[in-house]
Amino acid sequence: MTAPEHLTISGPEDILGYIPHSLGYWPSQSLVAMTMQGKRLGATLRVDLPEGGGRRGREAFARTVAEYLLADTEADGTLLVFFADGGFGDSLDDYGLYDDGRCDDGKEGAAVWSFRPLLADLECALGLAGMPVRDAWRVGDEYWGNVYCTDSSCCPPPGRPIAEIRDSRLNAEMVYLGSSVGAPPSTPSPGVADTPAAEDAAVMAAEREWTLALAGKGTLRAQFDAVLDAWAAALEAVSPEAVPGGGVHGGSALIAARPLSGVPGGGLEPELAGFLRASLRVPAWRDAVLVMAAAGRAAAAAGAEAFGIFSAGEGLPVSCPPVPEPQVLPSCTEQGQAPNKPDQPPVSCGGPDALPGYGEVLLGLSPPVPDWDTLNRLEVLMVGLSCGGGEAQAAVLTAAGWIEWCRGRGSFAHASLTRALEASPGYRLAELLSEVVRRGTICGWAGRREAAWQKFGSDAA
């Protein structure tokens, strides 16, 4: 995720206070690197601090960080922040460094982490990459401090209190804008566990019935269209209040959606929820839903045609629960282009040949800017549909993980994909995306400022 244009940073407390909002959680045992474009913050990268590996391991780690940050082609500098739970040593002279990169401060049972050897390697790698380190900080459990500051009047040992970060002006502004710092990615999303057991049972029962009804219809074009009709209606039914800028990790999910029956304040009808889960069990339909959300329905249909999944299949009826007529989408969206944001130049609509393929969309290479509003709505639905287990839950969690990867939030993507593989070991799309995340591949949209996800949207003020 890139930093919003409107935020003003007046001191290091603001920079450090921005990081948990950017990531969605307070990092632990992490290096956070932020690119700079002149005086403007660019992209944010979080990686686990290395454990051991010696000098060669540190150098390889530093090179990898530099390679990740090169995705920001406009970057001309870097800010580094070391987060370590056990605190830090002030200098190598004060602490004896062990082979695993940790050092003892002389107190029995207490350990502090010395960042300076790694900092030197990062300075070298980032300098060679044209993004020299402009400043660096260390953040522990109770104190924080500037790595380069030696003036005890402004950097008194053991550091400045963490409360200064939590009480910073920028942190208050982010909260005012609606941002919240949630639990780490490994923590289950809150909206799911709050769903009543009776509703879960009704959804699961409906899913079983719809799975039987949809059997053998994966190649029917009419059934494909009916599935996308249902998903389009469900996406439009998501209440705007259910789509916070930070996704559903800080709030409710399906519970916040209005029902398609029109009764205010309820959740998605179990019959429709069961149908949506059942449709995700067909890989071609699952992929079409993802492509439709990011690039428009025309791209989803054209990609399915290109794969040759359709056949005549005469005599088989179309199965679908009642759904309201979807609203008319903007013409560019119908042709596979995301709607323009207020501060972006118009995107010209091309003909059928301009429609992106499934691979281009799933890797974030096309369209130039995805439909982030619809992707946010899709995540709300996916998290709300993640009751039960098995293949449907794996599909739901994989889709949520893909959306997080598109946002540039690899930690959340990894956590969601891991849960998908726990729900259905060997689930192919989750395995493929997990490998992409493990290699540190950055989504094409996340690597370009004009296309990257903005937590508060382009009009936040």
When pLDDT is cut at 50, 70 and 90, the band that residue 193 belongs to is very low
3-state percent breakdown (helix, strand, coil) of the chain, nearest 5: 45, 10, 45
d(C-alpha 347, C-alpha 289), whole Å: 23
Q: What are the φ/ψ torsions at residue 22 (nearest 5 degrees)?
A: -65, -40
Identify whether 322 is preceded by a cis peptide bond (ω within 30 of 0): no
| pLDDT at residue 241, rounded to an integer | 57
| pLDDT at residue 325, rounded to an integer | 58
Most confident of 2-6, 54-58, 212-216: 212-216
Burial of 93 (0-12, 13-18, 19+ CB in 10 A): exposed
Q: What is the CA radius of gyration of the chain?
A: 24
Residue 202 has pLDDT above 70, yes or no: yes
Domains, the chain, in order of start with CATH, read: 12-176 (3.40.140.10), 191-438 (no CATH)
| pLDDT at residue 92, rounded to an integer | 31
Across 30-54, average pLDDT: 87
Q: Are 101 and 51 in contact (CB under 8 A)?
A: yes
When pLDDT is cut at 50, 70 and 90, the band that residue 89 belongs to is low
d(C-alpha 337, C-alpha 371), whole Å: 8
Q: Are 319 and 356 in contact (CB under 8 A)?
A: no
d(C-alpha 290, C-alpha 457), whole Å: 21
When pLDDT is cut at 50, 70 and 90, the band that residue 283 belongs to is very high
Helices 372-384 and 283-295 cross at an angle (nearest 10°) of 140
Across 430-437, average pLDDT: 95
| pLDDT at residue 349, rounded to an integer | 40
